[in-house]
Amino acid sequence: MTADPQQLDASRWPHRFAVLLVAATVTLIFVGGLVTTTESGMAVPDWPTTFGYGMFSFPLEDWVGGGWELFIEHGHRLLGSIVGLITIAFLLSLIRCDRRRWMWGLGLLALAAVIFQGILGGTRVIENERTLAMVHGCFAPIFLSLCVCNAVFTSRRWHLSFANADKRVVKDQIDRKPNQASAPPVNPFAGAKSGAFLFAAAVLVFAAYAQIVLGAQLRHLPATASAATGLTFAIFHVVAAVVLVIFAIAISLAARRMFKAADLSAQQDKSLNTGVRQLAHWLNLLICGQVALGCATWVLNYGWPNWLVTEQTSIVVAQNFWQTVITTGHQTTGSLILAACVGVFWRSYAVSRSAEYARLIGETNQKAGLRTPRTSNQTVSGALAGGVS
């Protein structure tokens, strides 16, 4: 994967659309979760029409006044359509503003994914197939992850890291202006440690997704499943949660230790490292929140565990506000955790490339007999990009 340092000067619109797409997709996942929680999936029996009307021509008064289930289901469809439109806008902005052809490919992939997801949801309705509802739910975090990738790849930090990292460009610069080129400092995040961290971060991404799929199995348990099956999935989900919490917190703590910004003099490196640390911080918060939401979801749906209370004293109102919001929030937070894990991986990957190339450049300079000291505003990328900060 390469980057064009000139992207630093390129339009910010692809990134803006990518971030908007992430935000809209998270909202869409929450509303989709509401559809499952409130069992509204079949509130509208036809697709892609809604009771014979086009997606956007369904009368507002029927949508708002047609009952909660219809409101949620049609709202989910509208939001899905909006996400599709944003994806198209993102792709167009890429074609217009981004010179990286592989990025165009990712934009196209996002469009294909959102169309596929829409068809999946529609087929679930037409066939009234609950298994497809589960698959539709499991594919949503994959699409969100793709959107996060797109947001990271179009971000200024990403361009910055690859401007720092593009050995070829740097070498040209050294050749052309040997006295002005200087090696960036060796970021602590380089070498064997970075490989191990990246591997662990990649495993975390897959573990977070596996946990989402396990949760979806629990949420979409087939009506014919036995009580033992239900309990098995629940136990797996809880055990996996414990493992995931420990793993994620370890990763985020490692990230906070390895991506220290204070020791770095270059503003760019600080910015890159801070980017990973911020995401690691968010991952920690999300994990803590998710544990709380998971416990609340259990209590609201299945009561207090027997080992904790001797008698249940609550009264459950079917589809009450807190049960609906917390259960759905737990599902959405799972996707957010996956998104944060994907972000941590790609941002740390960017730092590792930047750091590794910086180290190589340092060696190159030393071999060429160039001076290696640098100041905070005299990095290679700074020279290339005109002092980006």
Q: Which helix (H) or strand (E) holds 367?
A: helix 321-368
The residue among 6 and 229 lying less far from another protein, judged by its C-beta, is 229
Nearer to another protein, 222 or 387 (CB): 222
The smaller minimum CB distance to another protein, of residues 107 and 121, is found at 121
213 part of the interface to another protein, by CB under 8 A: yes
123 binds another protein, rule: CB under 8 A: yes
Q: How far is the CB of 305 from another protein (least distance, A)?
A: 9
Q: What are phi and psi of 304, to 5 degrees?
A: -75, 145
Q: Which phi-psi region, left, alpha or beta, contains residue 155 (left: φ > 0; alpha: ψ -120 to 50)?
A: beta
Does residue 20 bind another protein (CB under 8 A)? no
Contact criterion met (CB below 8 Å) for 110 and 143: yes
Q: Interface mask (CB under 8 A) for another protein, residues 311-350, using x and -?
A: xxxxxxxxxx------------------------------
* Cβ distance to another protein smaller for residue 6 or 128: 128
Q: Which two tokens stand for residue 358?
A: 């910086």
Closer of 42 and 254 to another protein (Cβ): 42
Buried b (16+ CB within 10 A) or exposed e, 279-306: bbebbbebbeebbebbebbbbbeeeeee
Q: What is the CA radius of gyration of the chain?
A: 24
**172 is an interface residue for another protein by CB under 8 A:** no
Contact 247, 211 (CB under 8 A): no
Count of residues touching another protein (by CB under 8 A): 48
Q: How far is Cα 298 from Cα 290, in angstroms, rounded to an integer?
A: 12
Q: What is the DSSP letter of 44?
A: S
* Residue selected from 48, 75, 191, 230 as contacting another protein according to rule CB under 8 A: 230
Residue 274 CA: distances (Å) to CA of 39, 110, 167, 175, 264 = 42, 28, 23, 31, 11
- 236 lies in the site for another protein, by CB under 8 A: no
The interface region with another protein, picked from 29-37, 121-129, 249-257, 327-335 by CB under 8 A, is 121-129
Integer Cα distance of 33 and 38 in angstroms: 9
Q: Answer yes or no whether residue 65 interacts with another protein by CB under 8 A.
A: no
Give the residue, chosen from 41, 141, 184, 275, that forms a contact with another protein under the rule CB under 8 A: 41
Cβ–Cβ < 8 Å for 5, 169: yes
Q: Residues 150, 217, 331, 354: which binds another protein (CB under 8 A)?
A: 217
Is residue 138 involved in binding another protein (CB under 8 A)? yes
Rounded to 10°, the helix 130-153/192-219 angle is: 150
Q: Does 45 bind another protein (CB under 8 A)?
A: yes
Decide: helix, strand or coil at residue 91.
Answer: helix
Please give the Cα distance from 65 to 300 (Å, whole number).
29
Smallest separation (angstroms) from another protein to the CB of 217: 8
The least CB distance from residue 55 to another protein, in Å, is: 16
Q: Kindly tell me which residue out of 176, 310, 367, 386 binds another protein, with binding defined by CB under 8 A.
A: 310
Query: Near another protein by CB under 8 A, which window of 213-221, 265-273, 343-351, 374-382?
Result: 213-221
The answer to whether the CB of 327 falls within 8 A of the CB of 190 is: no
Nearer to another protein, 26 or 300 (CB): 300
List contacts with another protein (CB under 8 A): 39, 41-42, 45, 119-120, 123-124, 127-132, 134-135, 138-139, 213, 216-217, 221-231, 234, 301-303, 306, 310-320
